[in-house]
Amino acid sequence: MRDEVDELVTSWRRERPDLDVSPLHVLSRVSRLAKHLDRARRASFAEHGLEPWEFDVLTTLRRAGEPYELSPGALLRATLVTSGTMTNRIDRLAAARLVRRRPDPEDRRGVLVSLTDLGRERVDEAFADLLRREHELLAGLAPADQQTLATLLRTILAPFDSGENGS
């Protein structure tokens, strides 16, 4: 079975036989898959009335477990945005009644951000829909092959996630 990447590699080998274009076999496919995943995610979020950043904050709260609340600082560390950006996001989510703020009983100056029932319902539905779409993207692979691919991708990504490659 040949695909567009095979054609791309063949063309580059013809045009630049002096270069080793073998990384394209893997990374061009990863790039193409990332585009399909991005489309699936955006469609899932839109279907549930969420922007990607909203989903990011809401899932961070949901994964925290009951009572589904974190400090703004914990949210910003988990989502890798600036303090000002997180404040704006919390304001917008609170205005949409997806989260609420309350004073932090452990820190008189602090607040905690928690999911509302509406926020939890919305994120749970969007997450279930996203997983359905992601299962569809992987449907061509047997479960064992999915696990093998996950292991190989983890091996490639580990140095980046630990900061060893300057990322």
pLDDT tens column, 70-116: 999 999 999 889 999 999 999 999 999 999 999 999 888 899 999 99
R_g of the chain, CA atoms, integer Å: 21
pLDDT at 167: 47
pLDDT at 161: 81
pLDDT at 160: 87
Which positions of the chain have pLDDT values less than 70? 163-167
**Contact call for residues 123 and 115 (beta carbons, < 8 A):** yes
Distance CA 100, CA 83 (A): 17
Provide the edge-to-edge strand list for the sheet that holds 99-104: 69-70, 107-115, 99-104
pLDDT at 164: 62
pLDDT at 165: 58
Per-residue DSSP letters for the chain? ---HHHHHHHHHHHH-TTS--THHHHHHHHHHHHHHHHHHHHHHHHHTT--HHHHHHHHHHHHT-TT-EE-HHHHHHHHT--HHHHHHHHHHHHHTTSEEEEEETTEEEEEEEEE-HHHHHHHHHHHHHHHHHHHHHTTTS-HHHHHHHHHHHHHHHHHHHTTTT--
Whole-prediction pTM? 0.83
pLDDT at 139: 95
**Contact call for residues 115 and 69 (beta carbons, < 8 A):** yes
Instruction: Compute the Cα dihedral for 43, 49, 52, 55 and give only its sign.
Output: negative
